Amino acid sequence: MLSWAILFFILALVAAVFGFGGIASTFVGIAQILFVVFLILFVISLVIRLVRGGTPRV
């Protein structure tokens, strides 16, 4: 998920360099949403890990 957010951010930078303001702002919005979703899922997984305890299973 984080890789998708980074991809859309890079696409937004490229679009902004070439002067496509509308497309760039759309890509930035998508990247922000994906980043927030990534952070929420990351925090949830950390909480679950702390509640369950133990080491990861291999």
- Kindly report, residue by residue over 9-46, the tens digit of the pLDDT: 888 888 888 888 788 888 888 888 988 999 999 999 88
CA atoms within 13 A on the CB side of 7: 5
pLDDT at 52 over 90: no
Tracing tokens 């998920």 back to the chain, one arrives at 1
User: One-letter amino acid identity for 34?
Assistant: L
57 found inside a domain: no
23 found inside a domain: yes
What is the C-alpha to C-alpha distance for residues 15 and 54, in angstroms, rounded to an integer?
Answer: 46
Whether the predicted model's global pTM rises above the 0.85 cut: no
15 found inside a domain: yes
pLDDT at 56 over 70: no
Domain holding 19, by residue range, is 2-52
